[in-house]
DNA sequence: TTTTAAAAGAGAATGATTCTCATTAAAGAA
DNA sequence: TTCTTTAATGAGAATCATTCTCTTTTAAAA
C-alpha cells in the first residue's frame, strides 16, 4: 500500500481538509510503516524529515484522519492504539508471539457470515458490521516491531 | 452468571491461589455486575462492603485472575479495559450507541468458521482462536453504564 | 496581497495503570 | 492453636499515553 505525494495530497483535499505538511507526512508515515504503527512509531518516522512536529499535533491529525475515514484505529491486547491505512472493512490476524498485525480480507468469508446472521438473527440487535480477530502465530516472523 | 460465596472461594482455591477477601469480592463483583465492568465500576461495587481496598490491589488482583483464566479482559473502542467473567471462548456484541457489550456464543457459527479456515488456510499463519466483534445497535437499550 | 478561520506548536494537565516498599495476613508446619 | 514463611495488600508516588489550553502560524479563498 504505497501512495505518491500527489495521491496523498488528493486524499486529504478530497475530504475538504486543508493540506498541511503535517497531515501529509502523517498519512505518508502510515502508508509506509508496515504493521499498523503506533503513534510513537509514526512520530519517529516523521521526525526524520520534520523534526519539530509536536506530539499533540500528531494525535490531533490522527483523530482528523480517523474521523474523515482516511485511517482506522486498531486496538490490540496491549492497550496502545495503532493505526491502519486500509479503509475497507477487513479482518485482522494477530500474532500472539511477535505483535505483528496483518490485514485479512476474504469476500467469501464475509458472504458466509452475512448469510449466517441472516438465518440466525440476534434478538434485539441490528448488526452493522462484523470484524474477526484471528489470533495465532506466524510461522516465519517478519518484522518484529517491539 | 451468579456464583455463591463458596463457589467463588473454590474457583480461587482450585487455581492454587490464596483465598483473600479482596480476591473474593473482586470476583464476586465481576459476576454480579452486568455489562463487562470497568475497573472503576468494580471498585465502586466493592467499596460498598469493603471501603478500604486499594486501587492498586484491584489492578493486581485482576491481573492475577486474568492470568489464571478466571476472568477475561475485553477492550472496547473507548479504550478502557473491561472485564468478563465468562471464560469459554465466545464472541461479543458491541452496541455503538450505548456501550453495552453482550456475550454471544453459537456452536454452529464456530463450526462454520472452523470449516472455512480448514479449507482456506492462511499462508504462514497458524490460527489459535477466532473472536468476532459484532458491532451494531440494540433495539431496546438495557442498562446503559455510561 | 490580504484576510480569516483553521491548524500547529509548546508544554501543562489528566487519568488509567504500574511501581515501590512497608505492613499484614493466608495457609501449611509444628 | 500458635508459629513461620511467603505472598498479598495498602498507600501513595511515578509513569506515560493522550488530551487540553492558549498563543502563534499558515492554508486557501477573496
Q: Which residues of B touch A59 (CB under 8 A)?
A: none
Looking at per-residue pLDDT, the higher value among B17 and A145 belongs to: B17
Q: Which of A117, A146, A144 is nearest to A130 (CA)?
A: A117
Tell me, what's the pLDDT at B143? 55
pLDDT tier, B61 (very low <50, low <70, confident <90, very high otherwise): very high
Q: Which residues of B touch A73 (CB under 8 A)?
A: 77
The verdict on A13 and A50 lying in the same domain is yes
pLDDT tier, B144 (very low <50, low <70, confident <90, very high otherwise): very low
Q: List the single residue in A120, A122, A139 with the smallest CB-CB distance to B93.
A: A122
Alpha helices of chain B — where are they, by DSSP H?
5-14, 21-32, 39-47, 55-67, 107-119
Does B86 contact strand C, using a CB cutoff of 7 Å? no
Task: Decide if B145 is inside a domain.
Answer: no
Tell me how many domains chain B contains. Answer: 2
What cell does B16 get?
492454587
| Residue A125 belongs to domain spanning | 91-136
pLDDT digits (tens, 9 = 90+) for B109-124: 999 999 999 999 999 9
Task: Decide if B142 is inside a domain.
Answer: no
- Give percent of chain B above pLDDT 90: 76
Q: Kindly report the average pLDDT of chain B as a whole number.
A: 91
The verdict on B58 and B30 lying in the same domain is yes
Residue written as grid cell 518484522 = A143
Tell me, what's the pLDDT at B115? 98
- D chain positions with any atom within 7 Å of a protein CB: 7-13, 17-21, 26-28
Q: How far is the CA of B45 from the C1' of C20 (A)?
A: 27
Does A79 contact strand C, using a CB cutoff of 7 Å? yes
Q: How far is the CA of B67 from the C1' of D29 (A)?
A: 59
DSSP per-residue codes, A75-107:
E-TTS-EEEE---SS-EEEEETTT--EEEE--H
Contact present, A42 and A30 (Cβ < 8 Å): yes
pLDDT digits (tens, 9 = 90+) for A124-139: 999 999 999 999 999 9
Task: Decide if A132 is inside a domain.
Answer: yes
Verify whether the Cβ–Cβ distance B122 to A77 is below 8 Å.
no
Q: How far is the CA of B13 from the C1' of D13 (A)?
A: 33
Task: Decide if A141 is inside a domain.
Answer: no
Q: Which residues of B touch A79 (CB under 8 A)?
A: 75, 79, 81
What cell does B134 get?
459484532
Task: Decide if B18 is inside a domain.
Answer: yes
Does A18 contact strand D, using a CB cutoff of 7 Å? yes
Report the C-alpha gap between A68 and A12 in whole angstroms. Answer: 9
Task: Decide if B123 is inside a domain.
Answer: yes
Going from the C-alpha of B131 to that of each of A10, A16, A94, A116, B84, the distances in angstroms are 36, 37, 11, 16, 14
Tell me, what's the pLDDT at A142? 65
The verdict on B69 and B122 lying in the same domain is no
pLDDT tier, A4 (very low <50, low <70, confident <90, very high otherwise): confident
Give the CB-side neighbour count of residue A95, counting CA atoms within 13 A: 22
Q: Is the pLDDT of residue A107 over 60?
A: yes
Going from the C-alpha of A80 to that of each of A36, A145, B44, B54, B67, the distances in angstroms are 11, 13, 26, 25, 20
Q: Kindly report the average pLDDT of chain A as a whole number.
A: 91
Q: Give the mean pLDDT of A56-74.
A: 96
Span between the terminal Cα atoms of chain B, in Å? 22
Does B55 contact strand C, using a CB cutoff of 7 Å? yes
Tell me, what's the pLDDT at A43? 96
The verdict on A41 and A99 lying in the same domain is no
The verdict on A60 and A126 lying in the same domain is no
The verdict on B80 and B9 lying in the same domain is yes
pLDDT tier, B142 (very low <50, low <70, confident <90, very high otherwise): low
Verify whether the Cβ–Cβ distance B79 to A75 is below 8 Å.
yes
Report the C-alpha gap between A19 and A9 in whole angstroms. Answer: 7
Enumerate the β-bridge partners of residue B77: none
What cell does A141 get?
516472523
The verdict on B78 and B99 lying in the same domain is no
CA A75, distance to chain mean position in Å, is 10
Does A56 contact strand C, using a CB cutoff of 7 Å? yes
Task: Decide if B132 is inside a domain.
Answer: yes
* Closest residue in chain B to residue A131, using alpha carbons only: B133
Verify whether the Cβ–Cβ distance A132 to B131 is below 8 Å.
yes
Contact present, B145 and A138 (Cβ < 8 Å): no
Tell me, what's the pLDDT at A1? 52
CATH number for A27: 1.10.10.10
Tell me, what's the pLDDT at B98? 81
Contact present, A29 and A8 (Cβ < 8 Å): no
Amino acid at each position: 500500500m504505497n501512495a505518491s505525494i500527489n495521491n496523498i495530497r488528493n486524499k486529504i483535499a478530497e475530504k475538504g481538509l486543508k493540506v498541511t505538511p503535517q497531515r501529509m507526512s502523517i498519512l505518508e508515515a502510515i502508508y509506509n510503516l508496515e504493521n499498523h504503527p503506533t503513534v510513537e512509531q509514526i512520530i519517529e518516522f516523521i521526525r526524520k524529515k520534520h523534526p519539530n512536529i509536536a506530539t499533540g499535533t500528531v494525535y490531533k491529525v490522527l483523530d482528523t484522519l480517523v474521523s474523515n475515514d482516511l485511517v482506522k484505529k486498531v486496538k490490540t491486547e496491549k492497550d496502545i492504539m495503532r493505526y491502519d491505512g486500509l479503509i475497507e472493512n477487513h479482518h485482522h490476524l494477530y500474532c500472539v508471539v511477535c505483535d505483528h498485525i496483518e490485514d485479512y480480507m476474504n469476500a467469501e468469508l464475509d458472504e458466509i457470515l452475512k448469510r449466517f446472521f441472516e438465518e440466525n438473527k440476534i434478538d434485539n440487535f441490528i448488526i452493522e458490521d462484523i470484524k474477526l480477530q484471528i489470533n495465532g502465530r506466524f510461522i516465519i516472523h517478519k518484522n518484529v516491531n517491539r
